[in-house]
Amino acid sequence: MEKEENLNQDDNTKQSTEDNSNTEKLLKEDQTNINKDEMSAEATPEETEASPEEKIKELEDKLARTFAEMENQRRRFEKEKDDAFDYGGFTFAKEALNLIDNLERSKLILESDETLKETEALKKTLEHLEIINKDLISIFTKNNIRPIDCLNKKLDPNLHQAMMEIEDDEKEPGTIIQEVQKGFMIKERLLRPSLVGVSKKKDQKDEENKENKENLDK
């Protein structure tokens, strides 16, 4: 009986030993797998890191874009500086045109005054006003401000503003035949458009009425 018990005890001990051995083996395998995963995770950034050649190419691209942006800024600043030099007095010049307008109005008022017509005083006054007007135009011209020549030319919306239409069969429709207010340019920029009257053909109905009247008279 004791012998059987000893045999059973030995079997249990042997089984326990085998179980412990298997457990240690499994633990070692798990630890090995964990170490492999950690090594794999640590190796991933190294595998995805760009090569030196790729880094150099990326830096060259960034440098080229930076230089291009700097060049565009330089050109923009140069243009702004030139515009400030060329057109810095734009507002002042536009306001100064009122002097010419007022001189023209003064001349018209004096010429239409019945008490001054045909007098020596009116003649001398108009001469002085004309001298002042020419001096102003000369000063403007020296500063690249010049009047727009528009009479007998086709209407250009970029330079002229039509204020009225005038019937005229001798002129091609759209031809400027009256200047209401003189326009000016400052270098290549429009300072003020010319206010003008343009020609148009007589209405067809008026022509037909005229022909009918002539036929009735005959």
pLDDT number for residue 3: 46
Per-residue pLDDT of the chain (218 residues; tens, 9 = 90+): 444 444 444 454 455 555 555 555 555 555 555 555 555 545 444 446 778 888 888 888 888 888 888 888 888 877 777 666 666 677 888 888 888 888 888 888 888 888 888 888 888 888 999 999 889 888 888 888 889 998 888 999 999 999 989 888 888 888 998 998 889 998 888 999 999 999 988 764 555 555 555 655 65
Tell me, what amino acid is at 85? F
pLDDT number for residue 195: 92
pLDDT number for residue 144: 86
Classify 196 as helix, strand or coil.
Answer: strand
CA distance 114 to 98: 26
Say if residues 186 and 93 touch (Cβ distance below 8 Å): yes
pLDDT number for residue 160: 92
pTM value > 0.75 = no
CB under 8 Å to 193, separation ≥6 — which residues?
148, 159, 160, 161, 183
| Cα diameter, the chain | 165
DSSP for 41-66, please give it. Answer: HHHHHHHHSPPHHHHHHHHHHHHHHH
Which domains does the chain carry? 60-143 (3.90.20.20), 146-203 (2.30.22.10)
Say if residues 159 and 193 touch (Cβ distance below 8 Å): yes
pLDDT number for residue 198: 92
Residue 178 CA to chain centroid, in angstroms?
Answer: 35
Say if residues 148 and 185 touch (Cβ distance below 8 Å): yes
pLDDT number for residue 56: 84
Say if residues 107 and 129 touch (Cβ distance below 8 Å): yes
